[in-house]
Structure 1
Amino acid sequence: MPAFRTWEAQLADHSTSVRTARRGIRDQLTSWGWSGERVDDLVLIASELVTNAVVHACAGHGEVRLHLQEFDGDCRLEVWDPRHDLPLHSRTPRRFSECGRGIDLVRQLAFDFGVVTRKGAGKRVWVRMLLDPAATPPPLAG
């Protein structure tokens, strides 16, 4: 019978939290039996979302929270930060720019993603990744 598993972490709004998030996500997914490209993709997505939260949303004024849940090969990662501004727009970066490609990268790698805002409670940016990319699980509530 499939298990419903969760993992959470609270991170400081500091650049070192990106490395902490990557390591935590990789370790947790590996302990759940995930491996290879799917783990790498989720780690990259987590890196992008936590970087966005630390650089754009917190800026010395809050914490970042991670929530990872997995059920039968369907994984959902949520990154919470204290601001309400939406990160779901794409930018056209300059050719050699080091930023501006993150949300497009998340769109390409994730099965699904979105954002949920709550007045006075910041926002949760979430992504879903399937262990088997050919699978079509039922939709999860955002």
Structure 2
Amino acid sequence: MSALSTPLFHISELCLADHSTSVRTARRYVRDQLGSWGYQGDKVDDLVLITSELVTNAVVHACQGQGEVRLHLQEFTGDCRLEVWDPRFDLPIQGREPRRFREGGRGIELVRELALDFGVITRRGSGKRVWVRILLN
């Protein structure tokens, strides 16, 4: 008689204050969480960078002192999904041409380049979830 092996499914959530220090907290949280699940390396670095971009967008453009940001992280056999929720339902701006000396305007395109898949789910009255998938293996 052989034992059945069940792959592990990991899930984790974090509520963040609507404050610029939440970006650093979110990066550290994602790195630590993935490390505790046995992942490290370039793909973890990519997801930490994506986390930074999405949480920054939520804090700077969506919340503007009006709420919290929620981070949802789930992983199943190396397939990882990150969601960042904020209270507004308007979509992130994509394809904006960055200006030469301007700091912003590249984040969503960077996310699109690094992620396996990317999208936004909106519901009036309950905000939006910007999500990405990345393969950690």
Listed one character per residue, the Cα deviations across residues 71-121 of structure 1 (whole Å, up to 9, x for unaligned) are: 011000000000011015221011121100000000000000100011210
Structure 1 runs (4+) greater than 6 angstroms displaced:
none
Residue 14 of structure 1 is matched in structure 2 by: 19
Structure 1: stretches of 5+ with no match in the other structure: 133-142
Q: Which residue among 26, 46, 65 is the counterpart of 2:70?
A: 65
Unaligned runs of 5+ in 2: 1-5
In the alignment, structure 1 residue 39 sits paired with structure 2 residue 63: no
Name the amino acid aligned to 1:123.
Answer: K
1:85 aligned partner, one-letter code = D
Q: Following superposition of structure 1 onto structure 2, how do residues 1-142 of structure 1 map, counting pairs within 5 Å?
A: 1-132=6-137
Equivalent-residue separation in structure 1 for 2:33 and 2:59 (angstroms) = 22
Say which is worse superposed, 46-55 or 90-99, in terms of deviation. 90-99
* SS class of match (2:50): helix
> Cα RMSD between the aligned structures?
0.8
The DSSP-based 3-state class of the residue aligned with 2:58 is helix
SS, match of residue 110 in structure 2: helix
For residues 88 and 28 of structure 1, the distance between their equivalents in structure 2, rounded to whole angstroms, comes to: 29
Q: Indicate the SS of the match to 1:50.
A: helix
> CA–CA distance in 1 between the matches of 2:115 and 2:31?
16
Counterpart amino acid of residue 81 in structure 1: D
Structure with greater Cα Rg: 2
> How many residues get paired?
132
Paired with 2:103 and 2:61, the residues of 1 have a C-alpha distance of 15
Structure 1 length-normalised TM: 0.91
